[in-house]
Amino acid sequence: MPSFQDRINSEIPAEVHMISGCHDVQTSADANITSFQLPNPAGRAGGACTAALLQVLYKENGGGPQDCSDQSWVEVLRAMRNNLDAKGYSQVPQLSSSRMIDVNDRMSIVNHPSGTKRAVLIGINYVGQNGELSGCHNDVKNISKYLQQCLGFQSNNMMVLMDDGMHEEPTYNNMMRAFEWIVKESQPGDTVWIHYSGHGGRVEDQNGDEEDGYDETLIPVDFQSSGQIRDDDLLKYLVKPMREGVLMTCLMDCCHSGTVLDLPYRSAKFALQCLSSNSSANSLCSNRFVADGDHVAMEKNGNFDLSHLIEVAAIGVLGAEVASFAAAAAASSGVVGEVADDCCVIL
């Protein structure tokens, strides 16, 4: 009988880490990012989670081209929490993963030195719509700058989606094609970074795999006509088909983002609850680390439904459509001019 981890390795071949801005039930805060003292930030507004993480990474790296080799996962997450708390934000950053990791090990973003580094960066301000945001474009610009200047990412391997009239629109279809493009292109030894800054939501669960009865979602710019991207979709089209040997880090700066990738490992505090319940053979324990000062490890989450994971179909090859979309998005990637916004409220 294969072990739990063997079954996970078979269904999720890549090593995937996700830093999320808050619990599933929390909303993500707006921020005047100048208070985070980032080097030459794009504009005044942005997501508090993105700014808090960049403040930690820049402090460690000093702007140099290196990974966070001297900081552990727990140190990074707790430093983020301290940065947020000092500025009056109540949201709690969290870490989830596709593998059991020791949160006291160093935080690892970059994979094999010879591998290609690729990124999909999505910032949605919902320009002209009710609930318009102000700083999500700035988040993308600031993350893009960090990836290129500090970690050696190249702009021709970065796909940027923003509703600013200069980049590919972050529509439902374009976001899904971006995820499928990076899955198709990434090979063993490569590094992948996914960043989303925009609205996040919760909708009624359709297949019974959510303990709270809700799927967490990303909200594309055309959500009113095309719908929302469910956590089940992200698992199916982004997480599950990523190749073995790829290291993918996802930063989700939106509301209700704690389990938006449906990864099988989360915090020990949640695991203690599931270990005391009567879990079926296919209801497995997963973990996310929560930077609230109480969590010190990661364990399996008893509410992780492996049977649902196995039922997820493999994605198809997108061929010329993806290639043409990737070329257009790459041509419009990189950092563009500053946006002087006042705030970014992610509801």
Catalytic residue IDs: 199, 255
Helix (H, G, I), strand (E, B) or coil at 326: helix
Structure tokens given for 76: 């990074």
- DSSP 8-class letter at 258: T
- Rounded to a whole number of angstroms, the distance between the first and last alpha carbons of the chain is 45
Q: Residue 213, exposed/middle/buried by CB under 10 A (0-12, 13-18, 19+)?
A: exposed
What residues have CB less than 8 Å from 10, skipping those under 6 apart? 2
Backbone torsion region of residue 119, taken as left when φ is above 0, otherwise alpha when ψ lies between -120 and 50, otherwise beta: beta
Q: Which of 152, 66, 70 is nearest to 117 (CA)?
A: 152
Contacts of 123 (CB under 8 A, 6+ apart): 136, 137, 138, 139, 140, 141, 160, 161, 162, 170, 197, 198
Q: H-type helices in the chain, by residue range?
A: 4-11, 48-61, 73-86, 136-151, 172-185, 223-226, 231-234, 268-275, 306-311, 320-331
- Helix, strand, or coil here: 28? strand
